[in-house]
Amino acid sequence: MDCSYFDAGVCRSCTLMGVPYAEQLDGKDRLARDLLAPYGDATWLAPVASAEAGYRNKAKMVIGGSVEQPTIGILDEAGRGVDLRECGICSPGIRAALPVLARFITRQRLEPYRVPERQGELKYVLVTESPDHELMVRFVARSEQTVARVRAGLGRLLGDLPNARVVTVNVQPEHKAVVEGDTEVVLTRESTLTMRLGPVSLRLRPQSFFQTNTDVATALYGQVAAWVDEIGPASVWDLYCGVGGFALHVAAPGRRVVGVETSREAVRSARATAAAAGLPQVAFRAGDATAFAVSAAAAPELVIVNPPRRGIGAELAGWLEGSGVGSVVYSSCNPKSLAHDLARMPSYRVRAGRVLDMFPQTGHMEVAVLLERR
């Protein structure tokens, strides 16, 4: 993949840009195998490749520049806007939407937030595209005065962007490196975006985490479901469950599944999907995964964990080590923290593993491993 922004030194976020893709994938596979080799003689499956370009289903774009000439992209070192609306790793539908949103910003007089002066209103535009090419568009602003401006132009926006199903304004008043605030104002009739992944259609609400690469996420959920079905547990926990991707894919007759997630919006999304799919044996709880596990009266037969980059940490790893749980599926976006966690769980060995290239052109990856108690 070629990128004019990278070549010009405008954006260097994709640190592997220009490296042949086969070399990228092989390097990630070797790194994961080397890091996890001490923790079991695993059977490693072939890595799951991604499309090299157009793979991101979500764009988090900083708004800069001026009302008349807004930039949609990132900020430079001086806090000035850098336009990246043609970013090649974003899906074609997102790239097509960004110029429309730039014109909307100008038309509705949405003043970009100027970081150095701490003035202005509009901070970000977050755009998510579903497999059916429908969009969720979220404006992040300093105050609710932006709500009225967006609402006033909503009809025109939906006319110019007819595949936008969900439009919201998120209010984040603070001057700090936090993208979203607690207040979310939904302006459209629809409040969820349907993400159709194989046999499961997830209902994505604003402020709900979802994997950024739809095709590779589909492969990830399929791989984990295959491992779980091979073991055939009667009870499963999905910790850090997000919108319930793993929990809903491993649901089966006679199998009790519980998902746990801190984000209440994500839990609402997961519950809506389970209800629509007629899965009463799948339940979701809003709360801390570690607190849920250590306070439970009994452990399940299998645990799935999909933590943030820092990993599950010492307390949850220690609980798993002493829990008697026979099998664990660990999906990690950071193989180094995964290795640290495995060192805390010597009773488990890596039985199978697979690299899934969720983030081409970067050094990041997803690694899924099946652990069994020795």
- Catalogue the active-site residues: 333
CA-based radius of gyration for the chain: 21
Residues 371 and 329 sit within 8 Å (Cβ to Cβ): yes
Of all helices (H) and strands (E), which one includes residue 339?
Answer: helix 335-343
Q: How far apart are CA 228 and CA 48, in angstroms?
A: 19
CA nearest to 191, candidates 90, 102, 91, 268? 268
Q: How far apart are CA 165 and CA 161, in angstroms?
A: 9
Helix axes 335-343 and 21-36, enclosed angle (nearest 10):
10
According to DSSP, the β-strands at 135-141 and 235-239 are: unpaired
Q: How far apart are CA 238 and CA 253, in angstroms?
A: 17
Q: How far apart are CA 16 and CA 360, in angstroms?
A: 8
Residues 303 and 328 sit within 8 Å (Cβ to Cβ): yes
Strand partners, 213: 56
CA nearest to 105, candidates 152, 68, 143? 68
Burial of 71 (0-12, 13-18, 19+ CB in 10 A): buried
Continuous H helices in 232-297: 245-250, 264-277, 289-295
Question: Measured in whole angstroms, how far is the alpha carbon of residue 311 from the centre of its chain?
Answer: 15
Q: How far apart are CA 124 and CA 179, in angstroms?
A: 8
CA nearest to 44, candidates 30, 64, 60? 30
CA nearest to 92, candidates 126, 53, 63? 53
Amino acid at 226: A
